[in-house]
Structures are given as C-alpha cells and as structure tokens.
Chains A and B, each alone.
Chain A
Amino acid sequence: MIVELISIATKAIFIENILLASFLGMCSFLAVSKKVDTAVGLGLAVIFVLTVTTPMNWLINEYLLADGALAWAGLPKVNLSFLQFICYISTIAAMVQIVEMVMDKFTPSLYQSLGIFLPLIAVNCAILGTSLFMGTKGYNFTESTVYGFSSGIGWLMAIVAMAAIRTKLRYSNIPKGLRGLGITMLITGLMALGFMSFIGITL
C-alpha cells in the first residue's frame, strides 16, 4: 500500500509533472514566475487547493455523478456524469474563495503580493486537470489525495525553479524579440527535457 502511494507520488512529481509533461497551469506559471517568493506563495496555495479539491471531487464523482453512483439513494440507473465539469469547477471555485478569505485574514502580505492571481487559481488548469486526470486513472480515495498533493508539489517545484532562473536571466543579454515570453518558453522546454530523464524509473 505504502509503496504504491510512493510510486504514485514520484510519478506525479517527476515523471508526469503536471506542468512540464501535461502542460497544465501554464498561464499563472508564466505570469507569476518573476520573483521567487511570490512563486513559492502561489505554489503553496496551489498545493493546498489541490490537496483539498482532488479528494473532494473524487467523493462527488463516486457518490453523485458516476454511472450508477446514486444506487445508495435507490436510483441505480441514473447517470449524471455529464454534470462532471460544472460540479468540479464549482467545488474548485468555492475552495479558492475559502483559501482567499483565510489568507486575507492570516497572511495579508502574501495576499497582497499574489493579488489578482489568487482568484485565478480557480481557473488554473492544473487544478481542474488533476481532478479530471484522477478520473481517467481510476484512483481510489487515498490514492487521489496523494496524487493531488504530489501534483501540487511538482507544480511548486517547476515554478520555483523557473522563478530562480528568471531572476538570473535579468542580467543576460537576450535578443529583443525573444525577451519575456519567448525565452521563458525555451527555458521551460529545456526544463521539460531535464525532467524527461526520470522516465523509466519504476519503484
């Protein structure tokens, strides 16, 4: 059991990194990776939201939406899986709202520096993507909690590494058209190449 969970975690962090292999959460990755400390703050917020929403969405899917899931209510023939998107996104939006309020109350400085990007976690593809991937991979409750948490860690790692590189990048002489988004994409490509070296590791 433990070994399986560790294997899921390693897979989600390194081999199938949510950002570098599935391209999820690029928008905030590109926008917030200019300073290391904001990147860490956003990364932690993403980890928290992921760890809470992924198991929550698992419960919703298992007991309300999936084919035959309403059997406990005496409705075994009902299939509500077409409501999946709208339910998942509402859970996520509500969760993000809660995180926002908690942060505003307890860490106002972090709340200030994240600014507009905090509400935007709701539309961060990484969050919805993890919930959807969890469905296609057929994880159970514990496995999807671990999967959500470690996807968040993978995302945090990628964005912090990127922020560190971009801080250094400010002192280098880059061709004009390549500045900003262009060079960031190229560096992300090289990072993805680095992470690909983990492919083939099995636990």
Chain B
Amino acid sequence: MSTATVAAPAKKASLFGKKEQKFMKDPLWDTNPITLQVLGICSALAVTSTLKPALVMCISVIVVLCGSNVIISLMRNMIPSKIRIIIMLAVVSTLVTLVDQLLKAYMFELSKELSVFVGLIITNCIVLGRAEAFALANKPWPSFLDGLGNGLGYSIILVLVAIGREIFGNGSLMGFRVIPQFLYEIGYVNAGLMILPPGAFILLGLIIWIQKTFSKTVED
C-alpha cells in the first residue's frame, strides 16, 4: 500500500538532526501521501468544494495522525502482530471521536457541513498506512514528526484542490469574492462543474500530473 521505506530509528536522540528533518520534509513533496503514496484520497475530494471545511479537515487529520502515530509507537512492543489492525482502529477511532466531539462543541455549523467525513478519518488510509508502515517500527519522536510531515503533505494537496475548486466554481475564496465584478459583466461564468464531484477528480488528476512531471516519477 505504501511505497515509503521504513527508516531505522535514529541512534542518537537529537531532536532536530538531519534524519529528523528528513522525516518531516520528505512527505511534504517527495513522498507526498496523496499523490505518490496514494493514501487518503477519499476525503481529499469530498471536503474540498470550498476552502474553509478543507482547512478544518486538514487540522483534524494532522491532530489525529500525530496522536495515533505517537500512541501506536509507544505501544509498538506490546501489540501482537495478528490483531494489530483492530488495535490501531481502536486507537484511531478514539482520537477521531475526541476531534468530532470538539468540533461539535465549538464549530457546530462546520461540523454539520463536514457531516460524516470527520468520522471517516478513521478509515482514512493515511492514518493507518503511516501507523503500519512507520509508527510500528519507530520511536515516538520520529513517529510524531512523520505524522506531522504526512499531515502537512496531505494538507498541501487538499488546500490546492480546495483553492482551485472554490475560485473556479464559486469565484470566491474563504467566502470572499475574488473574481472582480466586471469580469462577470463581460460574460465570465463560474464553472459549476468544479463544485460537482467530476470537477474534483479532474482537478486532482491535473495536480498529480503537474507534481509527477516536476518530481520525474513514472508509473507503468
């Protein structure tokens, strides 16, 4: 599922050595979770019709990802490998429940808009993918950085897709109008397709194309 290599735990416990920085920087672009590891695409598309829910989703995913990576990494020597998936699911769903309750308490409108997609962070492949591929074999601090890096890498793509969809679909950004009025007067029309599901697929396809052209990775 994941193509990222599992790095050996750092020998010296330096907090921001070269290796630690690499854990965080690599997933931002070179091994981006969405475009190159093909993880967590579901939510990347569903919540990106405008920027605001996308940002809230990014923050929730980062929190859950860091939390689950640290907890699973702390328990890595105690988890029997046969039932590890269920244990991971239990840890992740507890964290997601916390995030969901917080959102419901403080951002009720937004949590209505995100509806089931907060709950679906549980089955977001990024969280389980990173727990399986990294946290089970590494110490808590590198795992935390890995979670943070992958969460940010996920956020970059999410924000790009959301900006594209909101500008072209609604002519606005964060709810503020950015396409000037005179353009509408000379006949510019919002591309309604961008708000609809096909627009999301096509836009993400194009972003992946651009990203792969720059990073020169070729798939068969």
Question: Interface of A with B (CB < 8 Å)?
Answer: 20-27, 30-31, 82-86, 89-90, 93, 116, 119-120, 122-125, 127-129, 132-133, 136, 175-186, 188-190, 192-193, 196
Contacts and interface: CB of A to CB of B under 8 A. Distances in A.
A27 B197 contact: no
The DSSP consensus for interface residues of chain A is helix
22 contacts: A21-B197, A23-B197, A24-B42, A24-B120, A31-B38, A82-B97, A85-B100, A86-B93, A89-B123, A120-B1, A122-B85, A125-B42, A128-B119, A129-B123, A136-B116, A177-B209, A177-B213, A178-B205, A178-B208, A181-B212, A185-B202, A190-B202
A26 to B, nearest CB: 4
A83 B39 CA distance: 26
Nearest to B45: A23
B45 A116 contact: no
Interface of B: 1, 35, 38-43, 45-46, 85-86, 89-90, 93-94, 96-97, 100-101, 115-116, 119-120, 122-125, 128, 196-202, 204-206, 208-213, 218-220
B86 A124 contact: no
A27 B39 contact: yes
B86 A93 contact: yes
Q: Interface centre among B1, B86, B219, by most A CB within 10 Å?
A: B219
Contact of A176 (B208, B210, B218): B218
A181 B38 contact: yes
A182 B122 contact: no
Given A180-B220, A188-B201, A30 B100 contact: no
A90 B87 CA distance: 10
A110 B38 CA distance: 24
